[in-house]
Structure 1
């Protein structure tokens, strides 16, 4: 029997929750300050993760 955690990663679950909330016509809202903070956090994390990945040996081979 497959591991349920491997089949349903958190991004997929968040998408399903948002889809279900929209389908049920929920008035689900995120405060503007929280949305801005999460956006900035995600941009920084994605940038740092990409910078760390490109700094690894062999990351630029084939370019």
Structure 2
């Protein structure tokens, strides 16, 4: 699964980093999402889907 984020939409809620910490992080200065892996590592798919579903800004895009 391919992952992309739209940092301009991000509201720094941190739900993505909590759901999939191997894939998402947050910038220290403002909390905006940082994509650590453009493809979901093995075993992280469920967390990535959860992160996309709970993102209040809908800033995460998934592509199979």
Q: Which has the higher strand share?
A: 2
- Identify whether the pair has TM-score above 0.5, normalized to the shorter chain: no
Larger Rg: 1
- The structure whose RCO (Cα within 8 Å, separation 6+) is larger is 2
TM superposition score normalised by structure 2: 0.22
Select the structure that is richer in helix.
1
